[in-house]
Structure 1
Amino acid sequence: MTSALTAPGGAWAGSLPAATPAVQPLPGGLDELLTRQVPALVATRRHIHAHPELSGAEFETTALVHRRLTELGLRPRLLPKRNGVICDIGAGDGPLVAFRADLDALPLADDKDVDYRSTVPGVCHACGHDAHTTILLGLAPLLARLAEQGGLPGRVRLIFQPAEEVVPSGAPEVIEAGGLDGVSSIFAVHCAPQLPVGSVGVRTGPLTAASATLEVRLGGPGGHTARPHLTTDLVDLLGRVAVDLPAQLARRMDPRWPVSVVWGAIHAGVASNAIPSEGYLRGTVRSLHREAWQDAGEIIAKLVPDLVSGTGAEVEVAYLRGFPPVVNDKYATDVISAAAARALGHENVFEAEISMGGEDFSYYLEQVPGSMIRLGVAPPGATAQCDTHQPGFDIDERSIEYGVRVLAHTALAALDAPPPGSGATGGGR
């Protein structure tokens, strides 16, 4: 594994990774099949991008996925709310390997000047879920072909999950619907604009942080700014909480479990000469450690009243846990790393940086071994980086073919070498 090379400012600059003798073909003529379907996959991704759906409302995207899988002769089943799909490929008693894609878009405007720009005002696929979905749709015919040829040493489950971007999210719904029943390992890719197209980032252990949302509301008698002594000066108090809470929380937490508190909104009042009677702070709490994620809410609920004690302010604290951290299993990461090297060449497999973002793929990893990797989507020569969750986010669409190729190699490797202690045995090819 090599380290990612970056240009000044963190943006990658270079050319498309060239094929090397280390790149291995897929069996059964699958490379030719994949090459033929690439234009259709790009068209599918653009259609999904142009017709995004918010979390929990992914009905048309689900219908498209269900239709495409059915056309392959597969038997996909809808989730209970009919906004997600689970589809098994292959048969027999061999191991069962799962792959997950997320379907939902974000409540953001699409600022790109492209033909496939979002047609839904205020909704945009700004996190790459359209690409994730398309990659699994591209994987399905390859595995179906291999199963028909008798070359699939086990079964593969494709999970098209709703509501990754919200809390509560869709992963627990999938698990409740039996999405992990019998699964020996699970894998996923996530678009990474920090990496060049044709490369991936892999990491054992923590990949993303546990997350929570925090809201602090203060109330009290307002009044004229000429007489603050007759009021509870909430603007001053909110400013103190905004500055002091992160620092004081760090003193109350186990130093082995650092926590990040970042405010995203602060509001109180509208007039320059009137002290308001209510105001609020909203932000996020993040940690790479599950213990900190579990303990921080209780500590914050006690800490905020202490910070405003004696002022007469009324206090309300709401701490809503989001997702646990994504912690990649070593076995699974070794499998997908080796598969990516076969698909793209060893020189294009980088060590991924830890992200403080949240990802509900973590719920699956608490049940079975698995690994999420970063899929490079930055175009060659890129000098400016448009991150995910930004209105201008887009991908180099060649990443779709690379993603399919990596997951196809991963499926075969994971079926041949199931996790130790899983009770499954590989079929041997």
Structure 2
Amino acid sequence: MPGARADFPAGLCEELIAFRRDLHAHPELGNQEVRTTGAIKARLEEAGLRPRVLKGGTGLVCDIGEWDGGRPMLALRADIDALPIPDTKVTTPYRSTVPGRAHACGHDVHTTVVLGTGLVLADLQRRGLLPRPVRLVFQPAEEVLPGGAADAVRDGVLENVGRILAVHCDPKVDAGRIGLRHGPITSACDSLKISLDGPGGHTARPHLTTDLVTAVAKVATEVPALVGRRVDTRAGLAITWGRIESGHATNVIPQHAELAGTVRCLDQRTWETAPDAVYAAIDEVAALYGAKTQITYVRGVPPVVNEASAADLLRDAMTARHGAESVESTEQSLGGEDFSWYLQHVPGAMARLGVRTPGDRLSRDLHQGDFDVDESAIAVGVELFTAAALLDAAGEREG
């Protein structure tokens, strides 16, 4: 495949690993990524590029080459924020230095991959070997529903872009491999908070009160099942609770209870109507116990739906560098990803980037405090994106 290969500048792999470790040690939450943004900006400027910080003050967009008004550009997207959970790794020298904050979803890897790709492509551009400009998007606040992608789109990151690509770390896939599929690869995800109120009282006289502990327990157990029977089961709608709170004493029926969780859905059409079904089920169950409800339903993200030719571009790029056996089929995940907002405007695709050390069967799942990666995946991601950019520029995978 012509144009599908570009070698790394000397020392780049080591530099990228050091850059990722620095990000990992200094995680920042969504819309607070000031240090992270500064580090990315400084390295891009050192490479002779002109990044622009997004209007919110964090995140950047950076073009390699100038668009000539012809065929739209390819964009490569990374998310740069961390999670509000503690890093539980004990002996890792680059573990988080910020209490209660961790890069437990691999965004430090995503960021480093796109940065590294930008440095390789910038080197090709200087040598006159980049046939077509490429845009880098470093997006803040992916972990904050409904996600920073929508803000980035409003800030113009998709102007003159015809296709966008991304990767997401997958601890179930070996480093040196990627997972791909046509169609939906993630699910829709919303957040849900329910407040229940009523007159409390003595536990000796529950018949004279609104028994909120029982009411919130019934809502927690019965609403997911009730909603599940009112939508097409093929849509894979799932309500899962992450927090439940009520009461302070063993012999007092409380006046207030709270329940919070997520609503996830495999199918976009069902996701669009899900709030109505959820509201109706909550009110129905709570009314049986005389509880007054206040529901906060925050729309999150639709599913990421990989466009076929964009997914094939990633497949061809990975095959060009690592062979056909390096690409495996992946299932649709119930996880949410705001990369989906970009795909409401332009076609694109996301690949699962393998980060598990081959032969390692320890469970280091996403969103857990001990999450870490095989850092050889960084070079694989850079090779994937670089090859994809060159194949796309050569017109070998038209949308």
Q: Give the TM-score, by structure 2 length.
A: 0.95
1:272 paired with 2:250, answer: yes
Deviation above 6 Å: which 4+ runs of structure 1?
Answer: none
Q: Which residue of 2 aligns with 1:398?
A: 376
Distance in structure 1 (CA, Å) of the matches to 2:282 and 2:88: 39
Is the contact between residue 145 and residue 190 of structure 2 (CA under 8 Å) also seen in structure 1? no
The secondary structure found in structure 2 opposite 1:184 is: strand
Q: CA deviation at 1:353?
A: 1.8
Q: Which residue of 2 aligns with 1:407?
A: 385
Q: CA deviation at 1:308?
A: 2.7
Is the contact between residue 186 and residue 336 of structure 2 (CA under 8 Å) also seen in structure 1? yes
The secondary structure found in structure 2 opposite 1:252 is: coil
Equivalences for residues 164-179 of structure 1 within 5 A: 164-179=142-157
What percent of counterpart residues are identical? 46
Distance in structure 1 (CA, Å) of the matches to 2:276 and 2:96: 41
What per-residue deviation string (whole Å, max 9, x for no partner) do you get for residues 91-118 of structure 1? 3334410000011011111111211111
1:100 paired with 2:116, answer: no
Distance in structure 2 (CA, Å) of the matches to 1:292 and 1:153: 42
Equivalences for residues 274-423 of structure 1 within 5 A: 274-417=252-395
The secondary structure found in structure 2 opposite 1:308 is: helix
| Equivalent position amino acid for 1:58 in 2 | E
1:36 paired with 2:36, answer: no
Residue among 82, 86, 110 paired with 1:109: 86
Q: CA deviation at 1:251?
A: 2.2
| Equivalent position amino acid for 2:52 in 1 | R
Q: Which residue of 2 aligns with 1:69?
A: 44
What per-residue deviation string (whole Å, max 9, x for no partner) do you get for residues 208-244 of structure 1? 1101111122111111111111111111111211121
Equivalences for residues 220-259 of structure 1 within 5 A: 220-259=198-237
Distance in structure 2 (CA, Å) of the matches to 1:132 and 1:32: 18
Q: CA deviation at 1:171?
A: 0.6
Distance in structure 2 (CA, Å) of the matches to 1:310 and 1:190: 44
Is the contact between residue 264 and residue 334 of structure 2 (CA under 8 Å) also seen in structure 1? yes
Distance in structure 2 (CA, Å) of the matches to 1:144 and 1:168: 32
Distance in structure 2 (CA, Å) of the matches to 1:90 and 1:327: 29
Q: CA deviation at 1:189?
A: 0.7
Is the contact between residue 185 and residue 418 of structure 1 (CA under 8 Å) also seen in structure 2? no
| Equivalent position amino acid for 2:49 in 1 | L
1:56 paired with 2:31, answer: yes
- 310 and 379 in structure 1: CA distance in 2 versus 1, 3 angstrom threshold: closer
Q: CA deviation at 1:315?
A: 1.4
Is the contact between residue 3 and residue 394 of structure 2 (CA under 8 Å) also seen in structure 1? no
Is the contact between residue 2 and residue 391 of structure 2 (CA under 8 Å) also seen in structure 1? no
Residue among 122, 129, 141 paired with 1:144: 122
1:180 paired with 2:152, answer: no
Distance in structure 2 (CA, Å) of the matches to 1:158 and 1:73: 14
Q: Tell me, which stretches of 5 or more residues in structure 2 are unaligned?
A: none
| Equivalent position amino acid for 2:311 in 1 | T
Q: Which residue of 2 aligns with 1:202?
A: 180
Q: CA deviation at 1:42?
A: 0.7
Is the contact between residue 54 and residue 105 of structure 1 (CA under 8 Å) also seen in structure 2? yes
Distance in structure 2 (CA, Å) of the matches to 1:127 and 1:187: 18
- 315 and 156 in structure 1: CA distance in 2 versus 1, 3 angstrom threshold: same
The secondary structure found in structure 2 opposite 1:167 is: coil
The secondary structure found in structure 2 opposite 1:371 is: strand
Q: Which residue of 2 aligns with 1:127?
A: 105
| Equivalent position amino acid for 2:253 in 1 | I
Q: Which residue of 2 aligns with 1:88?
A: 63
Q: CA deviation at 1:48?
A: 0.9
What per-residue deviation string (whole Å, max 9, x for no partner) do you get for residues 179-211 of structure 1? 000101000011111111111001111111101
| Segment of structure 1 superposing worse, 216-225 or 191-200 | 216-225
Is the contact between residue 117 and residue 386 of structure 2 (CA under 8 Å) also seen in structure 1? yes
Distance in structure 2 (CA, Å) of the matches to 1:317 and 1:32: 52
Is the contact between residue 3 and residue 387 of structure 2 (CA under 8 Å) also seen in structure 1? no
- 37 and 231 in structure 1: CA distance in 2 versus 1, 3 angstrom threshold: same
Q: Give the TM-score, by structure 1 length.
A: 0.89
1:155 paired with 2:133, answer: yes
Distance in structure 2 (CA, Å) of the matches to 1:146 and 1:138: 13
Distance in structure 2 (CA, Å) of the matches to 1:32 and 1:138: 9
Q: CA deviation at 1:82?
A: 2.3
Distance in structure 2 (CA, Å) of the matches to 1:259 and 1:164: 22
Number of residues of Structure 1 aligned to a counterpart in Structure 2: 396
Is the contact between residue 344 and residue 406 of structure 1 (CA under 8 Å) also seen in structure 2? no
Distance in structure 2 (CA, Å) of the matches to 1:97 and 1:41: 22
Q: CA deviation at 1:418?
A: 7.5
| Equivalent position amino acid for 1:117 in 2 | R
| Equivalent position amino acid for 2:172 in 1 | Q
Is the contact between residue 205 and residue 329 of structure 1 (CA under 8 Å) also seen in structure 2? yes
What per-residue deviation string (whole Å, max 9, x for no partner) do you get for residues 118-170 of structure 1? 11111111111111111111111211122223222211000011000002421
The secondary structure found in structure 1 opposite 2:49 is: coil
Once superposed, what is the RMSD of the aligned Cα atoms?
A: 1.7
| Segment of structure 1 superposing worse, 395-404 or 85-94 | 85-94
Distance in structure 1 (CA, Å) of the matches to 2:389 and 2:205: 70
Q: CA deviation at 1:255?
A: 4.0
Distance in structure 2 (CA, Å) of the matches to 1:32 and 1:314: 62
Distance in structure 1 (CA, Å) of the matches to 2:119 and 2:244: 50
| Segment of structure 1 superposing worse, 403-412 or 217-226 | 217-226
Is the contact between residue 197 and residue 291 of structure 2 (CA under 8 Å) also seen in structure 1? yes
The secondary structure found in structure 2 opposite 1:373 is: strand
Is the contact between residue 42 and residue 397 of structure 1 (CA under 8 Å) also seen in structure 2? yes
The secondary structure found in structure 2 opposite 1:266 is: strand
The secondary structure found in structure 1 opposite 2:354 is: strand
Distance in structure 2 (CA, Å) of the matches to 1:308 and 1:247: 14
The secondary structure found in structure 2 opposite 1:286 is: strand
Distance in structure 1 (CA, Å) of the matches to 2:2 and 2:144: 39
